[in-house]
Structures are given as structure tokens and as C-alpha cells.
Amino acid sequence: MQDEEAALPDEVVAAAESVFEPHDDAAEESVLAQMDSLYQRDLRMAIAFVVALLVVLPFMLIALWSVMPSAAVKALLVASAVVLLVYNVASMLYLVRNYRRDKDFIYRRDVAHLRELKVARRLEKSLKKDGVTPA
């Protein structure tokens, strides 16, 4: 077992560096497009979470309504569901707004790591094809 990580091949490092220091406008546009794609995915996930919450909360209220012992407990259940919904929707809105504002800081690193991984997998596949065992 090695204590130190193996050095990354130059091609893998270059893939990440091209994200942080693009050589031309086309490379920057490619990075920005990939960053926007990641942001849109996160936005869809936030919307899906809120929609799922909007489906689950009424179901929970309907399922528990008949077993509540008093009107006070029912009111508390409804109030708790409303508070949960308000806080979760507010947190998702805040999250999406921050992700949009800090898109470059958040997603540029993700794009760099995704490109590193893609190149590393391609290199590993070519090494296996050539009969060389990667270190």
C-alpha cells in the first residue's frame, strides 16, 4: 500500500489546466457551456425536490388526519407542514440563487475534474488495450 498518490499523467493535468486557463474563445465557450449544463441539472434537481415535497406533504396530512386525537393536534400538524414547506422552498431558492451567482467558482472546478476523469479513463482504457497494467 502506497502512502503517496501516484503522479497524474501530463495529459490528465493538461485537461484540467485547459479549464482554468483556456487557450482560445472556443475552449472558454466549451467550458461555459458545460458549466451551464451542470447548473441547469442542479436547478432541475432543486425543482424536483420541491415538487416531491409538494406531493409528499399533502399525502402525509391525508394519511394522518384520521388518527389525530384532537383539533389542536391537527392544527399543529398542518402548521408543521407549512413551516417545513416554507423553509425548504426558501432554502432551495437561496441555493439556486447562490449557485447562479457563484457559477464560475462552483462549476469550473467540477468541469476540470470531469475532464480529468474522462482523460484518465481514456488513458486507462488504451493502456488495457495495449496490454499494459496501469500503476
DSSP letter (8 states) at residue 4: S
Query: Is the confidence at residue 119, as pLDDT, over 60?
Result: yes
For 50, the grid coordinates are 420541491
CB-CB contact of 130 with 1 (8 Å):
no
Residue type, 75: A
Mean pLDDT along residues 74-86: 95
43-58 pLDDT, tens per residue?
999 999 999 999 999 9
Q: Sorting pLDDT into bands at 50, 70 and 90, what band is 13?
A: confident
DSSP letter (8 states) at residue 67: T
Higher model confidence: residue 2 or residue 128?
Answer: 128
19-33 pLDDT, tens per residue?
888 788 888 898 899
